[in-house]
A and B are shown apart, each in its own frame.
Chain A
Amino acid sequence: MIKINNLDFAYKNTQVFKNISLEFPKGNIYGLLGENGVGKTTLLKLICGLQKPQHGSVTVDGLIPSERQPQFLQNVYFLPEEVITEDTTPEKFVQKIGVFYPRYDFALFNQLMKELEVDLSKKFNELSHGQKKKALLACAMSLQTDYLFLDEPTNGLDIPSKALFRKVISQYCSDDTTVIISTHQVKDVENLIDPIVILDRDDVLLNASFAEIIDKIYFEYGPERLQNAYYTEMLPGGYINVMPNTEHLESNVNIEALFNAVMKNKETIKNLMK
């Protein structure tokens, strides 16, 4: 379990987090959403131990990430947004790092490469940007760490690749694996993530499962714009209205509409979801 308590973090003169507390229980695929620059990547870096909190604490299964102990590192893998590769094949790359991870599975790597339709024989620098991303995803998943952190994993992927991405994440992540996907492209991770964490500058606006969300928020698809809606958006054939679920009606979460509703009614929804 990832526990963040009263975390303060700033880059020189820019405050990123101020006294935030969050918990990520094990075994879920979390969607870490937020506008550009709110600190999604920074939060992942703090959880991975690549940054150190200035105040407060971050622990992963009781271990302090910033100490970068092997016991911690062998259970986490961070796939950054920027594709950084070596002058080698993905196969050699994964073999080189895989030996450090106790549950690394080379057969799984081959299977994932096949499913993601990446050419095994090519070096990283011979692959396209999207192919490189998919190859690195296959590497990351074959390590079978308890925690997998993906920063904007769908950036640069074409539409079929985004579907493949969703497929392999939902299919190959075990029940014990905790995945945190940081993205601002919410459509790409629809039907994949649950719970959702929405970050704002200095603050956490939402940290709730789909069940908790639909219990309190109702997504109404209809022909007209409703006055009491937190957020309304025109869709082909009508409107989607994000409203308080006062009558405990069932609906399907539209992540993009939810995100926009939260951004427009920060305090209201934050208090509603408490």
Chain B
Amino acid sequence: MNNTLDIKRFGKVLRRDGLNFFPNLILSLAILWAIPVVIYLFTSLMPTDGTKNVFDAFGRINIIETLTKIAIIIAPARLYQYCNDSRKGIGYAMLPASTLEKFLSMVIYCVIVTPIVYVAGALAIDSILALFNGPYEGFAATYYFNEFAQIDSSIANHDVAGLLDDTWPIFVKNLSPTFLRILSLLGLLTLSSIFMFGNMIFKKRKTGKMIGILILLAIIIMIISINYVANNEALIEYFNQINENNVTEFIERMIFIWMNVALYTEIIVSALLLFGVYRKIKTQKY
């Protein structure tokens, strides 16, 4: 018997988790699906100066993306709420499947299924609302999958090699739509892995505690960064040289640096947290 990964058994784990998916998450998703409807009604009922209130498709895509992130944040605690509970988690721990199978199933439902189900539902609702002669003009679904290709700024497809010297460990040479899409998906993976990890280490108020930790971390990183910049004379000297002639180049440079840092950080953070989730599933005591 393969005690690490057996496809047939993995299928059973996926089926079991799938049976729990809708009963546990549907209410939360329904609330998130209702938000664009509320916005639609609110926009429709807002007083106008005679012209029709319009909420364009790109604006709605941003809302759907934000709500998708919220769905990803709440999914682990809704779907696997009791997996580390000393009493209610016994059934999960004793389920005859390997740690890897349970882990992969958790990742599939939290990282892949949840956003897909939410986005599909949200785009379907948006399309139905767009059929009426209301404030929703255009179909968000038409643009959603092509979103990054629509970016038309000075930074898109810009070659970065000339902007940074050789000492920078540049992974990304240009900000192509493909790269931006990968970075966006990686961001969702990181977000999900953060809250999956929080779900495994906290017993109660899992999502809230994890958000608290993230806020605390952000404050600490901000303080350290400000302190670093304020005490680094070379950086201050560099900032002083910024003028209206080179400000665009500076901004582009900062964006590229930030994108590279984000890429590395997201890969490392996701990998570490997902490993942490795996270890917790394997070693959790009940």
Residues in chain A within 8 A of chain B (CB atoms): 45, 48-52, 68-71, 73-74, 76-78, 80, 82, 84, 87, 96-97, 99-101
Residues of chain A within 8 A (CB-CB) of B93 are 49-50, 68
CA A70 to CA B9, docked complex, whole Å = 9
Which 8 A-B pairs give the minimum distances between C-beta atoms?
A: A74-B96, A73-B96, A50-B286, A100-B96, A69-B3, A70-B96, A71-B1, A99-B12
**In the complex, are the beta carbons of B90 and A97 less than 8 A apart?**
no
Q: Which residues of B in the span 80-97 have a Cβ within 8 Å of any Cβ on A?
A: 87-88, 90-91, 93-97
B 87-109 to A, binary, CB cutoff 8 A, 1 in contact else 0: 11011011111110100000000
What would 8 more interface pairs be, CB under 8 Å, given A82-B87, A100-B95? A70-B1, A70-B6, A73-B95, A78-B94, A80-B87, A97-B16, A99-B15, A100-B96
CA A82 to CA B87, docked complex, whole Å = 8
- CB within 8 A of B285: which of A51, A71, A76? A51
Q: Which residues of B in the span 179-205 have a Cβ within 8 Å of any Cβ on A?
A: none
Expressed in whole angstroms, the minimum distance between the Cβ of B41 and any Cβ of chain A is: 32
Expressed in whole angstroms, the minimum distance between the Cβ of B25 and any Cβ of chain A is: 14
B19 at the interface (CB under 8 A from A): yes
Query: Looking at chain A's contact residues, is the secondary structure mostly helix, strand, loop, or mixed?
Result: loop
**In the complex, are the beta carbons of A50 and B1 less than 8 A apart?**
no
CA A78 to CA B283, docked complex, whole Å = 18
Q: Which one of A82, A87, A96 has the greatest number of beta carbons of chain B within 10 Å? A: A96
B47 at the interface (CB under 8 A from A): no
- CB within 8 A of A100: which of B12, B285, B286? B12
**In the complex, are the beta carbons of A84 and B88 less than 8 A apart?**
yes
Q: A48 with B94: in contact, given A70-B3, A96-B19 (CB under 8 Å)?
A: yes
Residues of chain A within 8 A (CB-CB) of B101 are 70
Expressed in whole angstroms, the minimum distance between the Cβ of A272 and any Cβ of chain B is: 37
**In the complex, are the beta carbons of B96 and A52 less than 8 A apart?**
no
B50 at the interface (CB under 8 A from A): no
CA A234 to CA B282, docked complex, whole Å = 52
**In the complex, are the beta carbons of A84 and B90 less than 8 A apart?**
yes
Tell me the nearest residue of chain A to B284, going by C-beta: A50
Residues of chain B within 8 A (CB-CB) of A68 are 93, 99, 282
Tell me the nearest residue of chain B to A81, going by C-beta: B87
Expressed in whole angstroms, the minimum distance between the Cβ of B280 and any Cβ of chain A is: 13
15 examples of A-B residue contacts, CB within 8 angstroms: A48-B94, A50-B90, A68-B93, A69-B3, A70-B6, A70-B9, A73-B95, A80-B90, A87-B23, A96-B16, A99-B12, A99-B15, A100-B9, A100-B12, A100-B97
Residues of chain B within 8 A (CB-CB) of A49 are 93
**In the complex, are the beta carbons of B96 and A84 less than 8 A apart?**
no
Expressed in whole angstroms, the minimum distance between the Cβ of B91 and any Cβ of chain A is: 7
**In the complex, are the beta carbons of A69 and B88 less than 8 A apart?**
no
Residues of chain A within 8 A (CB-CB) of B6 are 70
Residues of chain A within 8 A (CB-CB) of B16 are 96-97, 99
Tell me the nearest residue of chain B to A48, going by C-beta: B94
B 6-25 to A, binary, CB cutoff 8 A, 1 in contact else 0: 10010010011001000100
Expressed in whole angstroms, the minimum distance between the Cβ of A241 and any Cβ of chain B is: 42
